[in-house]
A and B are shown apart, each in its own frame.
Chain A
């Protein structure tokens, strides 16, 4: 019973060899889910954050609403959408996007709040209009804080996208689901290892991007 012995192993290269397609598809779906969730999250959170930094009364309700969305457990959120959108990428994408909002909105507002008022005054004195000041001065200076938010949101989404796999939506969690149900321990190992690796890689890449995009913050320890 060589086969049975192999099934129970935590790392079984034969299985990996024979299932490269499945592994690759899961990895790709996981990456697509993560990138799309962060993209849509930014599309919503950037304007909302900018508006909330400008019109203060918007900030508490924005935090409250995104906070409620953030509190709904991921498995429940996917399950709530399952009857509506079925076993599709959309079912995973809507909750994943909603989870990024609390983190992103807060960091956009914090970042804009952190821009020193004398810099804004200087920009006004140089004849910058409100919109140009926002784009050219405030957002670049808020970038380190915003990027910090993007990093946390990305790592969070990578972890939560795995949960979608438990409902058989393609993602690295789906490998864990298959591994638990068959059971093939190697699939569990691969699913967990790849999602941790993806989280660490994404975090490092975003840290690098942050470093490249904010040259003024390199020389001194500025926050």
Chain B
């Protein structure tokens, strides 16, 4: 029990709540790395994947890209980049190397889920929209995107959770973020600091997941709400079929 008292003591120490090494600043760094990388990945990956899904082209590539990404340890790019280029600190994004690694991590789930989300819109619905005289752009904007919204958000959520988790490891190569408490605590053999850092990281990851889950429900057209849970399960399983085929 004395260990938990040490942890509580650490959280209560006002010194840990201010300055560049304090919890608020580390939390800010963590969110900064994550948000900047996620936004960049969404801008790069989503429009292309949505368009390919609309055209239903290059499906095999779009689906398999996340299977390949799984085989590489998430922090490999981080370590390799830091060795080769250093951290390369820039304004807004923090460290360029961390940024690139996190974007590379976020792109595959975004591509796979966005592609599947749009490609799985039933043919009869698309045909009905065309029959009503909609242009291709209108079919995409007014019909496919609203129906695809839950799965699109599932992709963002998967990517965001992965990015928040891996931003922790950025501390290992010398960047900031909440991972610093784990890495520094480890270096100083202070178990209570390691534990406190881990609690903060886990809390942030769970809040991200919950927050984006709420956003996903909110963005879903009312008529489709009951299907969200099923759609989310389908998202992961579709990338999980043994032969990489989309389950349509």
Chain A interface residues toward B at CB < 8 A: 60, 63, 67-68, 71-77, 79-80, 82-83, 103, 106-107, 110, 144, 147-149, 151-152, 155-156, 158-159, 162-163, 166-168, 173, 176-177, 179-180, 183, 185, 188, 192, 195-196, 199-200, 203, 207, 210, 223
Contact = CB atoms under 8 A, between A and B. Distances in A.
12 contacts: A68-B206, A76-B182, A76-B197, A77-B202, A103-B240, A148-B240, A163-B169, A166-B169, A166-B183, A183-B83, A199-B70, A210-B242
B173 interface: yes
B209 interface: yes
B202 A163 contact: no
B173 A180 contact: yes
Nearest to B208: A71
B168 A188 contact: no
B201 A73 contact: yes
A187 to B, nearest CB: 10
Contact of A107 (B3, B83, B237): B237
Contact of B71 (A106, A110, A144, A159): A159
Contacts of A151: 242
Contacts, number: 134
Interface string B206-248: 1001000000000000000000010001001100111000010
A107 B201 contact: no
A148 B242 contact: yes
B42 interface: no
Given A75-B179, A80-B195, A180-B172, A162 B73 contact: yes
B166 to A, nearest CB: 8
A71 B194 contact: no
Contact of A144 (B194, B229, B242): B242
Given A148-B242, A192-B76, A73 B165 contact: yes
Given A76-B201, A166-B75, A183-B83, 5 more contacts: A76-B205, A82-B195, A106-B236, A176-B76, A199-B70
B186 interface: yes
Contact of A149 (B70, B80, B202, B240): B240
B199 A80 contact: yes
Given A76-B182, A106-B233, A223 B205 contact: no
B239 to A, nearest CB: 8
Interface string B74-89: 1110011011000000
A56 to B, nearest CB: 13
B64 interface: no
Interface of B: 3, 67, 70-76, 79-80, 82-83, 161, 164-166, 168-169, 172-173, 179, 182-183, 185-186, 191-192, 194-195, 197-199, 201-202, 205-206, 209, 229, 233, 236-237, 240-242, 247
B194 A83 contact: yes
B165 A74 contact: yes
Q: Is the interface of A mostly helix, strand, loop or mixed?
A: helix
Contact of A199 (B71, B209, B236): B71
Contacts of A82: 191, 194-195
B71 A196 contact: yes
A79 B70 CA distance: 22
A149 B202 CA distance: 25
Contacts of B205: 71-73, 76
B189 to A, nearest CB: 11
A79 B240 contact: no
A223 B165 CA distance: 34
Of listed A156, A166, A179, A207, residue having the most chain B CB within 10 A: A166
A76 B168 contact: yes
B75 A73 contact: no
Of listed A75, A168, A195, residue having the most chain B CB within 10 A: A75
Given A166-B169, A176-B79, A185-B83, A75 B182 contact: yes
A75 B30 CA distance: 14
A79 B161 contact: no
A152 B73 contact: no
B172 A83 contact: no
Contacts of B173: 180
Nearest to B72: A196
